[in-house]
């Protein structure tokens, strides 16, 4: 191709007309395009589009995976992260009674204690950080006993043996991959005397082994003279779900919960804020006051502490659990506990506004809690189905809609979509019908 490259400025001006990017970034793309081998305008537009698409932006999660790891886990609106009105300072580290310096974590620690029965709690950036801090504060230079069946990789590079190594503690493998008994821990402790600082339990969140398997109960290993730290991962606060009317839902069956794990003898429990709590990304360390105090006093604490906005959001989430309004006020819990009838009604209303030529129809499906919580558990759901694979076109919309493909059918699951976004689902389906 002999096309002569345009000037960077000319090309940038042409391309900038259709872009919301700052002009300096469009110029950057134009400069790269001019250096390419032809199709300068198309190349520049692709580069500009690439940057626009790489910006973190709101999307409609129609995958049916409620806590989608690629889509930011628990959905939370801006209202969770700040206060309405003027941009004001906050009392983040200020004691309003004394008029002196306060702790940014006092209120959330009180709320976690109330909701889980823990004596005290401390918050860090995520659960991986929580496990790292607990091991560094309680076991550096000493041994940590872990069942071979729980020496797992959670995903995103979180591998128990490697986290242990980073904390400065030494891993002691106990039992076998499929069977570990309390007597295995007893023998390991007897052999190593005072060297074993803690027993670490890890909930295998993202898989389960079936068949000839066994792990000892917490009650059996919490009286061996060594503190038990339990990483439950998903962060169900209380297995009785006092914030839900009626019995706990079926999909939570068997999920470990902070209150019960502490009551059964764990000294410390760690979990994520953005999995089953439905809150912001953070990690929570809760349990015995003296052990929590050691975590708080460890030098890593300053590096792992969460920001003010995270604590404001977490505070809102914990207040909603305490007020038993989680199922209306926390988006994840609202989605997870919506009745099948209400989802069906929403799907019918959507279909009523969509061009019949599209052939969209309603299917019963199953949604997933997601984020590696409750492995294997499903929540009955309703999806709008359209023949053909339209996932790429739905992703290209100005508010991208992330759908699921099943064979040659595109499914938009209503359970992971906020009711307020139903009109966007209508628009997205109609955009498929018009071309
Ligand atoms: C998810 C999970 C983690 C990691 O938590 P993050 O908050 O993502 O850092 C650690 N342990 C278990 C058991 C988990 O399920």
pLDDT tens per residue across span 208-225 = 788 888 899 999 999 999
Q: What is the mean pLDDT of residues 85-90?
A: 88
Most confident of 150-159, 199-208, 422-431: 422-431
Atom of ligand 1 nearest to the CA of 272: 7
Where do the DSSP E strands lie in 138-282?
143-147, 170-174, 196-202, 227-233, 268-272
CA dihedral 121, 122, 124, 129 (to 10 degrees): -70
- Portion of the chain with pLDDT greater than 70, in percent: 99
Whether residue 235 has its Cβ less than 6 Å from ligand 1: no
Query: Which of 209-214's residues contact partners 24+ apart within 8 Å by CB, and which partners?
Result: 209/149, 209/177, 209/178, 211/178, 212/178, 212/179, 213/149, 213/178, 213/179, 214/178, 214/179, 214/180, 214/181
Ligand 1 centroid vs 365 CA: distance in angstroms? 27
Tell me: pLDDT of 375 over 80.
no
Give 274 Cα–ligand 1 centroid separation in angstroms: 10
CATH number of this structure's domain 106-325: 3.40.640.10
Question: Which residue, chain included where needed, has tokens 């069956």?
Answer: 253
Residue 272 Cα, ligand 1 centroid: separation in angstroms?
Answer: 6
Specify whether the CB–CB gap between 265 and 343 falls below 8 A: no
| Ligand 1 mean position, distance from CA 30 (Å) | 42
Task: Give the Å distances, CA to CA, from 342 to 157, 330, 335.
Answer: 39, 18, 11
- If you take atom 15 of ligand 1, which residue's CA is the nearest one? 233
Of 243, 246, 228, the residue nearest 277 (C-alpha)? 243
* 180 φ, ψ (degrees, to nearest 5): -130, 135
Q: How far is the CA of 426 from the centre of ligand 1 (A)?
A: 36
Domain ranges for the chain: 1-54, 106-325, 338-433
Q: Does any ligand 1 atom lie closer than 6 A to the CB of residue 283?
A: yes
Which atom of ligand 1 has the smallest separation from the CA of 205? Answer: 15
pLDDT over 60 (residue 286): yes
Class of the domain covering 338-433 = alpha beta
Q: Residue 100 corresponds to which tokens in the numbers above?
A: 């002196």
Q: What does the angle CA 204 – CA 208 – CA 213 come to, to the nearest 5 degrees?
A: 100
The span from the CA of 358 to the CA of 189, in Å, is 66
Q: What gap in Å lies between CA 166 and CA 180, rounded to an integer?
A: 25
| 167-183 average pLDDT score | 94
């Amino acid at each position: 191709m002999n096309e002569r490259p345009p000037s960077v400025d000319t090309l940038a001006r042409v391309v900038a007309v259709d872009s919301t990017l700052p002009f300096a970034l469009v110029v950057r793309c134009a400069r790269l395009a001019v250096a390419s081998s032809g199709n300068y305008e198309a190349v520049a537009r692709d580069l500009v589009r690439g940057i626009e698409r790489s910006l973190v932006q709101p999307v409609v999660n129609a995958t049916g995976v409620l806590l989608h790891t690629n889509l930011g886990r628990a959905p939370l609106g801006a209202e969770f992260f700040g206060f309405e009105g003027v941009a004001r300072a906050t009392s983040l580290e200020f004691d309003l009674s004394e008029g002196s310096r306060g702790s940014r974590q006092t209120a959330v620690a009180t709320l976690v204690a109330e909701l889980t029965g823990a004596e005290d709690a401390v918050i860090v950036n995520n659960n991986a950080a929580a496990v790292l801090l607990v091991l560094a504060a309680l076991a550096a230079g000493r041994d940590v006993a872990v069942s071979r069946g729980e020496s797992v990789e959670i995903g995103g590079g979180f591998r128990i043996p490697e986290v242990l190594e980073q904390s400065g503690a030494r891993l002691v493998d106990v039992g076998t991959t499929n069977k570990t008994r309390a007597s295995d821990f007893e023998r390991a402790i007897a052999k190593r005397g005072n060297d074993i600082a803690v027993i670490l339990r890890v909930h295998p969140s993202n898989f389960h082994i079936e068949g000839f398997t066994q792990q000892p109960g917490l009650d059996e290993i919490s009286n061996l003279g060594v503190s038990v730290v339990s990483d439950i991962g998903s962060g169900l606060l209380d297995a009785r779900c006092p914030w839900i009317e009626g019995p706990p839902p079926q999909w939570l069956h068997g999920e470990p919960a902070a209150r019960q794990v502490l009551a059964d003898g764990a000294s410390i429990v760690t979990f994520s804020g953005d999995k089953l709590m439905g809150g912001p990304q953070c990690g929570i360390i809760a349990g015995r006051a003296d052990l929590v105090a050691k975590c708080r006093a460890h030098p890593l604490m300053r590096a792992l502490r969460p920001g003010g906005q995270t604590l404001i959001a977490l505070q809102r989430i914990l207040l909603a659990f305490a007020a038993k309004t989680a199922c209306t006020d926390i988006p994840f819990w609202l989605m997870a506990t919506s009745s099948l009838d209400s989802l069906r009604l929403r799907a019918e209303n959507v279909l009523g506004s969509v061009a019949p030529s599209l052939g969209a129809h309603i299917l019963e499906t199953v949604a997933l809690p997601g984020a590696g919580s409750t492995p294997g558990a499903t929540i009955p759901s309703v999806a709008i189905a359209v023949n053909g694979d339209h996932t790429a076109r739905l992703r290209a919309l100005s508010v991208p809609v992330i759908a699921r493909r099943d064979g040659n059918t595109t499914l938009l699951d209503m359970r992971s979509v906020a009711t307020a976004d139903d009109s966007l689902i209508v628009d997205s389906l109609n955009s498929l019908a018009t071309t």
